[in-house]
């Protein structure tokens, strides 16, 4: 096996050999490697296939910008993870990774054929071709694209890992631990500011930490040595927290930032166990220093995507940090000085290399150094083509014309096994723009730089466009002193020597004799879009960068165009003949690099996903086979399955028992609001549609609450406990909103009212007993209470003691039966329930759930707000005009009840429906029509509630139907998938219209 690890470095621990699997084969690396560096050490460049053309692709970079080396990690159904960048993944014992985009395998694949038919796959190909015929999309195109696109596999089982969230507050947050970030953090922390420094890498130091060029020195030391010393210094600062392996994902308003800390991704399997895998930091910082650095640009020329073509600085890092050379015969193609550092480093390690430079000449210290080492430099030359299928083996260069628009002279063919490219540097302004900051364009080196800040933040270092070390350090120190309003003198005497770049030449799309249509000049490696695609989009009329981006999919992949956006912009500007600065940029959206769902969700999974509210009687329900229904956060018994009953049978049994003898319901979840104050009855007058002033003490009344738009909002029974004391009940789901709404009116519209509201939903538990035998059961529980209709009539309230505990008893009914609701302090709820059950035994007292409750009330035509209403129903639409006071001067929503729209006759109105076949049960939500022949079919309304009534022995339904009030007796049709159901419009009350049962 080849070994490209050619020297020892302090970052690679060669005493710790690590074995890992890549595409099923076992390899070795060392502690300190990334997957990418270990692969390169094993001579592996080819790591995937391109998205559209399935061209072989290799590792391009050494960081977050990597477009090609995207892996699937692990193979377990619950732990596999797609879209992991090999350049960021730290190697660990037992790592299993596979290349993602290469079905059926990386070395040969069917999609490779696309490479030869590529003239047929221009920009917008997917939009243009796969749109037609429509039926092909689902059956042919999509499966094919999905299969060959290789977007990775999601885990198919729940993630067993643990994730965590943490909130922190700092005076200063520094993003990025390179030279400028380290200086900023030190200055802040030494000035007594509580400071957090985050960096996404394993160690601090950025690209300076492995710098070893003699021409770049600080205080007479190699810059890397100087920086190591600084890092030692800052580690001693008690005010400074340093978090490595931590990347900022998003920068929101008010200096609120999200960071992802990787805690175990670098550990072997057995050491990951029972540990938090990733932690999401929610950071509030008074001030933020952005020191995120810059990334190197590729160059756009024909066949610039072959394996073995990397960014020049990445070749340098693999060499000086990981001890790995990317080749043995390397060519560096550049338009700036930084490739010379790489070249000199390679030369020092004995790696043969030559330089192809776009510039006509250059004269900095670095260039003189390279020249004096005898490194061959082709100035004013351009790479026009590369060769080699699975890896580059040679290339052609040509001379550039004076204006740089064409090539001249003869082709020179050079052999190589690796090509480094450097198109200059792009400042990472993502954080600045995410924070709301604007950008300026600097023509000199064609970079976008941070401009206006809308938040308290600053950019320093190369993300601010300062590229040489002297500039970086001087400017950082000055800016930080000003930004933090301090006077730090630590760097006053620092002596920096570095090479200064004097010459620039930028050409976004490099010239070629071959017509553009026949070249493959890649811009976006991950989404496989080329210079030709951009030009085609412009030709077809696209102008806005946002449109060109979407049409060509440039910058739309998981790398978000970190390497491609600038070139796309540059080519658009050049083609359209406009200045690049005027084009604007695409929006940099969070997250900066992909986040796992686990990190975002944190601990809120499984039973912590949402708060669960249980009544004090919950245990009994569980013991008695209740199936539960979620109502808001509440768990409510839905039905109690007896002896293996299904839901239908249970509900039929429960419903019948409640009307034949007695039923009991846990009604504890209904919202309860305690209302007190001298203006309490006036307040109720204003919030309900009916009148409340005359409600006697000890009496109950049903109320309907509207929004100001006149639509029904909530309903419930309110009891007058004393002159200035009421107890309001609301729907279970509406409780919180009703309280908020009432508080809103009290605080903002009617602050003069003397009214106090307290939610007591959780304070009382409620058992509701109904049925002809309910009075007998009550009598057993409360033998001293006079239950006669004279003393305790329907819609009234009494207090009595159960044992020694006070109970509030209301004789109210939601089923149409004689019915009592017993309220007791919640801690006694379970005892109350059990005593009721015990007392009711001889009367076959049957516990029933929400489904039976719904059925029983539907028999009586009582509405459920939220089921029979949907925020567009007025009281009149519900045929409930009786509850709207004509006398009251005002109440919430009153004025809206006679707006031109609310008095329309043809509004949807609540009606009853009876099926012609009494056994046929309608589907809730089903559409209602009168004529199925005329097309389009006129929809009249829909079914809101539907049940089979065991007490009437037929199917009943409630529905909202256009002009329904006038349609009683009319035949309508409910068209279903395989049949039409005939129904007749009926009254909404199906049972006991005379309310005889209430006083049974």
As measured in angstroms, the least distance from the Cβ of 892 to another protein is 9
- Smaller CB separation from another protein, 333 or 688: 688
Closer Cβ to another protein, 454 or 806, answer by number = 454
Select 710 or 941, whichever has its Cβ closest to another protein. 710
Place of tokens 């002279």: 409
Longest dimension (CA), the chain: 115
Give the up-direction half-sphere exposure of residue 763: CA atoms within 13 A in the CB hemisphere: 10
- For residue 734, the minimal CB distance to another protein (Å) is 16
Q: How far is the CB of 899 from another protein (least distance, A)?
A: 5
Provide the minimum distance between the beta carbon of 868 and another protein in the complex, in angstroms, as a whole number. Answer: 24
Tokens of 190: 């030494």
Residues constituting the chain? 1000
The nearest distance, CB 411 to another protein, in angstroms, is 55
Q: How far is the CB of 488 from another protein (least distance, A)?
A: 28
Please provide the distance, in angstroms rounded to a whole number, between the alpha carbons at the two ends of the chain. 94
Q: Among positive and negative, which fits the CA dihedral 407, 409, 411, 417?
A: negative
Which CB sits closer to another protein, 215 or 707? 707
Please give the DSSP secondary-structure letter assigned to residue 581: G
Q: Which is nearer to another protein, 252 or 699 (CB)?
A: 252
**Closer of 610 and 708 to another protein (Cβ):** 708
Taking each helix axis from N to C terminus, what angle separates 531-539 and 545-552, rounded to the nearest 10 degrees?
Answer: 120
For every residue of 548-580, DSSP letters joined together read: HHHHHTTT-STTTTTTTHHHHHHHHHHHHT--G
Closer CB to another protein, residue 135 or residue 747? 747
Nearer to another protein, 476 or 685 (CB): 685
Token couple for 79: 């732990």
| Rounded distance between C-alpha atoms, residue 729 and residue 231, angstroms | 64
User: Cα–Cα distances in Å, from 70 out to 260, 526, 556?
Assistant: 19, 9, 15
Question: What are the φ/ψ torsions at residue 300 (nearest 5 degrees)?
Answer: -105, 105
Rounded least distance, CB 123 to another protein, Å? 35
Tell me how far, at minimum, the Cβ of 256 lies from another protein, in Å.
Answer: 4
Q: Which CB, 17 or 895, lies closer to another protein?
A: 895
In the complex with another protein, the residue whose CB is nearer, 141 or 256, is: 256
Residue 898 CB, nearest distance to another protein (Å)? 9
Q: Do residues 879 and 866 make contact, with C-beta atoms less than 8 angstroms apart?
A: no
Residue nearer to another protein on the CB measure, 890 or 994: 890
* Cβ closest to another protein, residue 132 vs residue 889: 889
User: How many Cβ atoms sit within 10 Å of the Cβ of residue 651?
Assistant: 27
Are 970 and 941 contacting, i.e. CB atoms less than 8 angstroms apart?
A: no
Exposure string for 734-769, b = 16+ CB within 10 A, e = fewer: bbeebbebbeebbeeeeeebebebeebbeebbbbbb
Smallest gap from residue 581 Cβ to another protein (A): 23
CB of 749 vs another protein, minimal distance in Å: 5
Q: How far is the CB of 894 from another protein (least distance, A)?
A: 7
CA distance 725 to 677: 7
How far is Cα 439 from Cα 565, in angstroms, rounded to an integer?
Answer: 15
- Quote the least distance from Cβ 181 to another protein, whole Å: 24
Residue 746 is classified by DSSP as I
Q: Which is nearer to another protein, 220 or 890 (CB)?
A: 890
CB-based burial label for 454 (10 Å; 0-12, 13-18, 19+): exposed
**Residue number, 445 or 709, with CB nearest to another protein:** 709
In angstroms, give the least distance from the CB of 10 to another protein: 41
**Cβ atoms 262, 459 nearer than 8 A:** no
DSSP-derived letter for residue 732 is T
d(C-alpha 175, C-alpha 193), whole Å: 16
**Measured from the CB atom, is 173 or 658 closer to another protein?**
173
Q: How far is the CB of 456 from another protein (least distance, A)?
A: 11
Whole-angstrom Cα distance, residue 412 to residue 376?
14
Closer residue to another protein, CB minimum distance, 663 or 733: 733
Q: How far is the CB of 291 from another protein (least distance, A)?
A: 23
Work out how close the CB of 615 gets to another protein at its nearest, in angstroms, rounded to a whole number: 23
By beta-carbon proximity to another protein, the closer residue of 478 and 872 is 872
> 449: helix, coil or strand?
strand
Judged by the rule CB under 8 A, the positions of this chain that interact with another protein are: 252-254, 256, 284, 436, 454, 708-709, 740, 743-744, 747-749, 751, 889-890, 894-896, 899-900
Q: Give the phi and the psi of residue 585 in degrees, each rounded to 5.
A: -120, 170
* Pairing status of strand 457-459 against strand 276-290: parallel
Query: Of 673, 669, 707, which is closest to residue 688 (Cα–Cα)?
Result: 707
Torsion of CA 706, 709, 710, 711, to 10 degrees: -70
How many angstroms separate the CA atoms of 48 and 150, rounded?
10
Q: Give the position of tokens 């090609």.
A: 68
Query: In angstroms, what is the minimal distance from the CB of 756 to another protein?
Result: 12
DSSP 206: T
Is residue 922 within 8 Å of residue 957, measured between CB atoms? yes
**From residue 568, how far is each of 294, 463, 519, 552 by CA, in Å?**
18, 20, 16, 10
Three-class SS of residue 940? coil
Q: Which of 851, 475, 884 is nearest to 712 (CA)?
A: 884
Nearer Cβ to another protein (283/416): 283
249: left (phi over 0), alpha (psi -120 to 50) or beta: alpha
């Amino acid at each position: 096996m080849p070994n490209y690890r050619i020297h020892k470095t302090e970052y690679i621990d060669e005493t710790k050999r690590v074995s890992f699997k890549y595409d099923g084969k076992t390899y070795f690396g060392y502690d300190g490697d990334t997957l990418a560096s270990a692969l390169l050490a094993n001579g592996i460049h080819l790591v995937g296939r391109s998205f559209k053309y399935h061209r072989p692709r290799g590792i391009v970079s050494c960081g977050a910008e990597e477009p090609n080396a995207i892996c699937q990690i692990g193979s377990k159904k619950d732990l596999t993870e797609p879209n992991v960048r090999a350049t960021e993944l730290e190697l660990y014992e037992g790592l299993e990774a596979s290349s993602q985009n290469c079905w059926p395998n990386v070395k040969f694949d069917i999609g490779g054929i696309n490479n030869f038919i590529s003239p047929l796959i221009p920009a917008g190909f997917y939009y243009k071709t796969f749109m037609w015929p429509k039926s092909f999309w689902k059956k042919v195109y999509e499966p094919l694209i999905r299969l060959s696109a290789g977007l990775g596999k999601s885990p198919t089982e729940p993630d067993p890992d643990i994730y965590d969230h943490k909130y922190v507050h700092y005076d200063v947050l520094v993003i990025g631990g390179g030279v400028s970030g380290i200086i900023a953090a030190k200055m802040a922390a030494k000035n007594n500011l509580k400071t957090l420094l985050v960096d996404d890498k394993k160690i601090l130091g950025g690209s300076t930490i492995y710098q070893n060029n003699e021409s770049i020195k600080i205080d007479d030391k190699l810059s890397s040595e100087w920086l190591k010393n600084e890092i030692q210094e800052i580690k001693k600062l008690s005010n400074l927290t340093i978090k490595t392996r931590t990347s900022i994902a998003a920068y929101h308003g008010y200096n609120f930032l999200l960071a992802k800390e990787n805690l175990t991704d670098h550990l072997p399997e057995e050491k990951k166990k029972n540990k938090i895998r990733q932690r999401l930091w929610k950071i509030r910082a008074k001030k933020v220093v952005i020191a995120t650095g810059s990334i190197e640009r590729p160059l756009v020329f024909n066949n610039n995507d072959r394996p073995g073509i990397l960014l020049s600085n990445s070749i340098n890092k693999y060499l000086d940090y990981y001890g790995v050379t990317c080749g043995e015969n390397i060519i560096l193609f550049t338009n700036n000085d930084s490739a010379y550092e790489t070249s000199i480093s390679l030369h020092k390690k004995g790696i043969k290399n030559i330089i192809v430079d776009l510039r006509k000449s250059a004269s900095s210290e670095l260039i003189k150094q390279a020249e004096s080492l005898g490194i061959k430099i082709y100035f004013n030359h351009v790479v026009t083509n590369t060769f080699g299928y699975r890896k580059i083996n040679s290339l052609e260069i040509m001379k550039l014309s004076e204006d740089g628009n064409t090539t001249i002279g003869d082709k020179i063919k050079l052999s190589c096994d690796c090509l480094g490219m450097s198109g200059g540097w792009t400042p990472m302004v993502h954080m600045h723009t995410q924070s709301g900051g604007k950008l300026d364009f600097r023509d000199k080196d064609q970079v976008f730089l941070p401009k206006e800040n809308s938040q308290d933040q600053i950019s320093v270092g190369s993300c601010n466009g300062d590229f040489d070390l002297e500039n970086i350090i001087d400017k950082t120190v000055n800016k930080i002193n000003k930004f933090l309003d301090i006077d730090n003198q630590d760097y006053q005497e620092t002596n920096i020597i570095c090479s200064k770049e004097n010459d620039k030449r930028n050409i976004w799309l490099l010239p070629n004799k071959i017509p553009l249509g026949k070249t493959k000049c890649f811009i976006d490696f991950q989404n496989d879009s080329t210079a030709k695609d951009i030009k085609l989009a412009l030709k077809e009329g696209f102008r806005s960068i946002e449109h060109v981006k979407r049409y060509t999919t440039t910058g739309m992949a998981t790398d978000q165009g970190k390497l491609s956006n600038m070139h796309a912009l540059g080519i658009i500007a050049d083609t359209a003949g406009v200045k690049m600065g005027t084009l604007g940029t695409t929006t940099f959206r969070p997250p900066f690099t992909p986040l796992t769902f686990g990190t975002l969700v944190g601990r809120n999974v499984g039973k912590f996903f949402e708060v669960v509210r249980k009544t004090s009687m919950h245990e009994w329900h569980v013991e008695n086979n209740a199936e539960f229904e979620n109502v808001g956060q509440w768990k409510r018994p839905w039905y109690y399955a007896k002896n293996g009953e299904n839901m239908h049978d249970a509900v039929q049994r429960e419903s019948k028992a409640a009307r034949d003898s007695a039923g009991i319901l846990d009604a504890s979840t209904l919202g309860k609001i305690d209302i007190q104050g001298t203006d309490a009855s006036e307040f109720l007058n204003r919030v309900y549609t009916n009148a409340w002033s005359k409600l006697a003490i000890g009496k109950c009344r049903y109320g309907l609450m509207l929004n100001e738009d006149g639509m029904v909002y909530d309903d419930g029974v309110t009891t007058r406990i004393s002159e200035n004391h009421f107890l309001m009940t609301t729907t279970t789901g509406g409780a919180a909103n009703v309280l908020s709404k009432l508080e809103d009116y009290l605080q903002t519209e009617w602050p003069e009212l003397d009214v106090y509201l307290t939610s007591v939903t959780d304070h009382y538990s409620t058992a509701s007993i109904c049925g002809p035998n309910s009075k007998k059961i009550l009598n057993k529980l409360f033998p001293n209470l006079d239950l006669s209709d004279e003393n305790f009539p329907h819609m009234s309230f009494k207090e009595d003691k159960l044992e020694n505990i006070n109970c509030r008893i209301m004789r109210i009914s939601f089923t149409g039966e004689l019915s009592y609701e017993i309220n007791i302090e919640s801690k006694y709820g379970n005892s109350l329930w059990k005593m009721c059950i015990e007392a009711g035994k001889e009367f076959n007292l049957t516990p029933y759930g929400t489904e039976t409750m719904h059925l029983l009330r539907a028999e009586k035509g009582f509405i459920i707000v939220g089921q029979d209403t949907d925020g567009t129903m007025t009281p009149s639409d519900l045929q409930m005009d009786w509850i709207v006071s004509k006398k009251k001067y005002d109440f919430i929503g009153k004025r809206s009840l006679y707006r031109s729209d609310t008095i329309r006759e043809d509004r949807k109105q609540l009606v009853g429906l009876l099926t012609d076949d009494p056994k046929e049960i309608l589907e809730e939500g089903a559409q209602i029509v009168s004529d199925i022949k005329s097309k389009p079919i006129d929809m009249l309304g829909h079914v809101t509630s539907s049940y089979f009534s065991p007490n009437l022995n037929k199917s009943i339904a409630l529905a909202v139907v256009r002009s329904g009030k006038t349609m009683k007796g009319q035949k309508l049709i409910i068209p279903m998938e395989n049949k039409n159901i005939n129904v007749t419009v009926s009254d909404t009350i199906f049972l006991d219209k005379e309310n005889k049962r209430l006083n049974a």
